């Protein structure tokens, strides 16, 4: 009689349950957010019934209301705010949009579910009763702006509102994480890597095991693919991330957590142009529009590894890699040079002046003209060895 085959053992890692402390943290956070939403709704109702003007103070997310905290090395939001009034015809629609999204957030928290920014737009989208086709929101940008207003006015981050942005960004390397109960070995992610989600808070993602010595963050997926294929993260014992251009909050928050919680240095390999410089500025100091989140997003000790204006000559690159600066590029470069956090930095002034004197910008991919793996086998290893970076 033939022996019955034994099914192969499962290779998938078991789900990891949240700890009691994590569950309590989530519950406390949700309770705090719900209390703020209910207090806001009660205030609107009480004032309306009493014939008083319901108002909502919205902190201004503008350059004039942004403070450079030199001691902490981050941007912070000031105290200036604009009032949004229900009985003001010019502000009534935005006021009601704020109430509409507040109610949707309450429903999400009650249901213990999350929605994307796009999902929130559709959840609140409908024709206003008594109008001739007037919609609650004209487009998603209008909806997203109201959600940011809610964040700052309720002093509750987007993740605390159970809202996330579209996934954009990838990670691979010597770290094992737990994502919503699933154990993920980032050393075994194939060519695609681990897609960084929009919400990466400790109650969602935990760091289980990490042997990496540093994080290398690159600007684009094309560059990340070269480093992953060459297994740079394995040879140099690191974590490799990319942000598909301007990194999302999820990617920035993950980088911040890797830096603060695990003590990993963060090196950024970005293009030699004003946009690459701006991306680094956002990663390091924070951004004007999200200054209220800098303390949980910014990485003051992040380092700019390249590409640098000196590399055209230092690496012996050809004229083929030159991308001539436009008037917009030149204007943006001068604006960045005037940022308070760059203004007193001799290294950055020399770098931006070098870019302007060259008259052209360069992408990380330009190093391929030297050799397919020049960037992974020579450029970055040598820069790390020489500690040749900008802070």
Catalytic-residue membership of 122: yes
The rounded distance, in Å, linking the Cα atoms of 251 and 167 is: 9
Within 8 A by CB and 6+ apart from 133, the residues are 127
Q: Tokens 């941007």 — which residue?
A: 75
C-beta pairs of 153-157 under 8 Å, 24+ apart in sequence: 153/40, 153/56, 153/57, 153/58, 153/59, 153/98, 154/33, 154/36, 154/37, 154/40, 154/102, 155/36, 156/32, 156/33, 156/36, 157/293, 157/296
The rounded distance, in Å, linking the Cα atoms of 255 and 262 is: 10
- 50-65 as b/e: b if 16+ CB within 10 A: eeeebbbebbebeeeb
Q: Which of 122, 267, 312, 339 is catalytic?
A: 122
Catalytic residue list:
122
């Amino acid at each position: 009689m033939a022996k019955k085959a034994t099914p192969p053992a499962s290779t998938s890692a078991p789900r990891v349950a949240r700890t009691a402390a994590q569950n309590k943290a989530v519950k406390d956070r949700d309770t705090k957010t719900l209390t703020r939403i209910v207090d806001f709704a009660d205030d609107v109702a009480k004032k309306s019934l009493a014939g008083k003007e319901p108002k909502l103070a919205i902190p201004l997310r503008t350059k004039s209301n942004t403070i450079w905290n030199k001691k902490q090395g981050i941007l912070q939001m000031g105290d200036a705010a604009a009032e949004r009034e229900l009985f003001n015809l010019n502000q009534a629609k935005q006021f009601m949009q704020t109430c509409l999204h507040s109610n949707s957030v309450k429903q999400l928290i009650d249901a213990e579910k999350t929605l994307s920014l796009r999902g929130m737009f559709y959840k609140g989208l409908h024709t206003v009763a008594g109008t001739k086709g007037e919609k609650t929101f004209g487009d998603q940008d209008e909806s997203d702006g109201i959600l940011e207003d809610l964040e700052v006015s309720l002093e509750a981050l987007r993740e605390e509102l159970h809202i996330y942005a579209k996934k954009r960004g990838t990670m691979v390397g010597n770290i094992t994480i737990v994502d919503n109960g699933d154990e993920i070995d980032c050393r075994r992610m194939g060519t695609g890597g681990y897609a960084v989600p929009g919400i990466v808070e400790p109650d969602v993602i935990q760091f289980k095991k990490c042997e990496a010595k540093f994080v290398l963050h690159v600007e684009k997926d094309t560059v990340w693919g070269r480093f992953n294929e060459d297994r740079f993260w394995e040879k140099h014992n690191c974590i490799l991330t990319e942000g598909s251009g301007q990194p999302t909050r999820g990617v920035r928050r993950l980088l911040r957590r890797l830096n603060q919680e695990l003590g990993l240095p963060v090196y950024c390999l970005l293009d030699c142009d004003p946009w690459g410089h701006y991306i680094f500025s956002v990663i390091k100091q924070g951004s004007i529009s999200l200054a209220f989140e800098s303390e949980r997003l910014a990485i003051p000790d992040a380092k700019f590894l390249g590409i640098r204006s000196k590399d055209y000559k230092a690496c012996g690159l050809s004229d083929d890699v030159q991308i001539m600066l436009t008037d917009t590029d030149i204007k943006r470069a001068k604006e960045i040079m005037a940022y308070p956090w760059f203004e007193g930095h001799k290294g950055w002034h020399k770098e931006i002046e070098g870019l302007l004197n060259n008259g052209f910008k360069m992408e990380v991919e330009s190093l391929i003209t030297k050799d397919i793996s020049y960037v992974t086998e020579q450029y970055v290893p040598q820069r790390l060895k020489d500690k040749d970076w900008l802070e």
